[in-house]
Amino acid sequence: MEVTVRQAGERDVPRMFELVKELALFERAPEQVTVTLEQMREAGFGADPVWVGWVAEVDGMVQGMAVCYVRYSTWKGRRLYLEDIVVTEAARGQRLGEKLFMACVRHAVQQGHNGMLWQVLDWNTDAIRFYERFGASFSDEWLNGSLERDALLNLAAR
């Protein structure tokens, strides 16, 4: 089995869009996906891209993805927001999520961001445990996780 994580290209968007729909089913909200394939493509690869992504391939087939964008905090400055990590059910347990997460961490460090944050549904205990392995902290409500700059640097140095 050959696993490759690479920055997403425009050609990957149709498969990434499929993974978004798979995630929405898992999160019990398929009707909430209102973005179109063309909108997703334009937002990532159009004249004014707002997201950057990575894909995880297993034997040449995209089985996972991560999508991030820059968020600005008046208190903390530029931070990378991890919108989604998705690994298709058939490919779970192969550390694809970890590889995608680390691609985001390294990107945040390379771009000079002061931290990285994301949200986790409170019932998604597997995801919560996943992020806790990296030293993430969580709030009491939406479980907003984050890694501060020091943690990003430590992880990136692994």
Catalytic residues: 131
Residue among 87, 98, 96, 83 nearest 145 (CA) = 83
Q: Under DSSP, is residue 128 helix (H, G, I), strand (E, B) or coil?
A: helix
Residue among 87, 16, 22 nearest 58 (CA) = 87
Amino acid at 143: L
| Angle between the N-to-C axes of helices 96-110 and 125-132, in degrees from 0 to 180, rounded to the nearest 10 | 50
